[in-house]
Amino acid sequence: MITLEDWALIRRLVKDGVPKARIAERLGISRTTVVKAAASDAPPRYERKPAVSTSFTPFEERVRQLLADTPEMPATVLAERVGWEGSITWFRENVRRVRRDVARPDPADRLSWAAGDAAQCDLWFPPRKIPLEDGTRVLLPVLVITAAHSRFMTGRMLPTRKTEDLLLGSWELLQQLGRVPRRLIWDNEPGIGRGQRRAAGVAEFAGTLATKIVQLRPRDPESKGIVERRNGYFETSFMPGRSFASPADFNAQFTDWLAVANQRVVRTIKARPVDLVDADRAGMLPLPPVVLHLGWRNQVRLGRDYYVRVDTNDYSVGPAAIGRVVDVAADLERVRVRMGGRIIAAHERAWARGLTITDPGHVDEAAVLRRQFEQPRTLAAVDDGLRRDLADYDRAFGLDEVSA
């Protein structure tokens, strides 16, 4: 087959009256090829020859039918359904080709975000372990909330991805933002909910803020692409060259860096988030005037070991409250225990797991109470006028005469 340049040259030379035999000799091709090129009004086009039949060919139509009904069916199941007995590797390669052909299109719309309408929420896991109080090093989640219109970013590292900590972190970041977006967009994070079912406390949180929590359907990354792209931005612009002594150190460094990052021009909107955030806030809702009762909350009767549990850690309580009902509350920083509205124990919240946190004063108090309990009780002599001499009973029954 001749090239497009040769085809154009042949047609020009024929128009100029050059004999076809001479053209063929000049280009090193046959005269028949020159005749066909001169007679063709369209440029040459490569056409793929029909594929040679292979061992997969007899099974291909059935594979296409199965994939049309169930696109995610694994190749091993397909091989079983169609009766394939050959190489599974060769079968997988052909299934991969067919799967691309029968894949259903999934178009992504261009989204626009009105001021104040939405903020996108996500958990970012920095690829570096953070040292905790017990000497262990773990990967911890960072809650990131990005205002969709202005691209203004807020973020904070959390102890866990459980509902209690997610709501505490969300409230803290919304307070930093100063207003409440009309929609908070999440993916299917278990701590927020699954599908149309919300985790315990999430609906109350949204109702108090008068906002709407939207959880996206699976395989819909474009609807939350703003915040997810920020996660990659953090890993390439914030993480390199940094070390962290604790979660508090991470949060301090991250907060300082975000203040600088929010002043950089975002290419897609050609503006700085700090310049647009006021317009974004103007379209948002005000923070609620009421106090939000968030975090870890429980009411228990204090046992003899005078400890209460928050998440996976145990915290000591004054042993004088043993047998009494106490209220346990914890936020991201502190654990507090109250009895009758009065705080009887307070600890810094531990981020490690399976720890026992003890106040030495509680141990000393328990030792005093234990000694008092172990001492034998002595009854003081009391003259209540009801005691009588036993000789009175002898005289009453005539026993004194018999003894005499």
Q: Which fold has domain 118-282?
A: Nucleotidyltransferase; domain 5 (3.30.420)
Q: CB neighbours (10 Å) of residue 339?
A: 17
Q: Judging by beta carbons within 10 Å of its beta carbon (0-12, 13-18, 19+), is residue 89 exposed, middle or buried?
A: exposed
Query: What is the predicted pLDDT for the residue at 219?
Result: 64
Instruction: Give percent of the chain above pLDDT 90.
Output: 65
Query: What is the predicted pLDDT for the residue at 385?
Result: 62
Secondary structure of residue 190 in the 3-state scheme: coil
Query: What is the predicted pLDDT for the residue at 188?
Result: 87
Helices (H) and strands (E) in the chain, counts: 14, 16
Query: What is the predicted pLDDT for the residue at 400?
Result: 60
Residue 393 — pLDDT band, cuts 50, 70, 90? low
β-strand partners of 197: 194
Beta strand segments in 140-253, E: 142-147, 153-157, 183-186, 193-194, 197-198, 212-215
In degrees rounded to 5, what are phi and psi of residue 343? -70, 125
Residue 108 has pLDDT above 70, yes or no: no
Q: CB neighbours (10 Å) of residue 252?
A: 13
Residue 398 has pLDDT above 80, yes or no: no
The whole-angstrom separation of Cα 172 and Cα 193 is 20
In 3D space, the residue among 115, 114, 117, 122 whose CA is nearest the CA of residue 181 turns out to be 117
Kindly list the strands in the beta sheet with 183-186, ordered across the sheet, starting from the edge strand earlier in the chain. 153-157, 142-147, 118-124, 183-186, 212-215
Q: CB neighbours (10 Å) of residue 85?
A: 8
Q: CB neighbours (10 Å) of residue 258?
A: 20
* Token duo for residue 352: 């490690």
Spatial contact of 352 and 296, defined as CB atoms under 8 Å apart = no
Q: Over the stretch 18-68, which tens digit does the pLDDT of each residue have? A: 888 888 888 888 888 888 888 887 777 766 666 668 889 999 999 999 998
Mean pLDDT for the stretch of residues 213-230: 80
* Token duo for residue 85: 């007995």
Q: What angle do the packed helices 20-27 and 4-15 form, to 10 degrees?
A: 150
β-strand partners of 326: 300
Residue 325 has pLDDT above 80, yes or no: yes
Mean pLDDT for the stretch of residues 280-294: 91
The amino acid that residue 154 corresponds to is: T
Mean pLDDT for the stretch of residues 93-116: 81
Q: Over the stretch 146-170, which tens digit does the pLDDT of each residue have? A: 999 999 999 999 999 999 999 999 9
CA neighbours within 13 Å on the CB side: how many for 82?
Answer: 25
* Token duo for residue 314: 């145990």
The amino acid that residue 47 corresponds to is: E
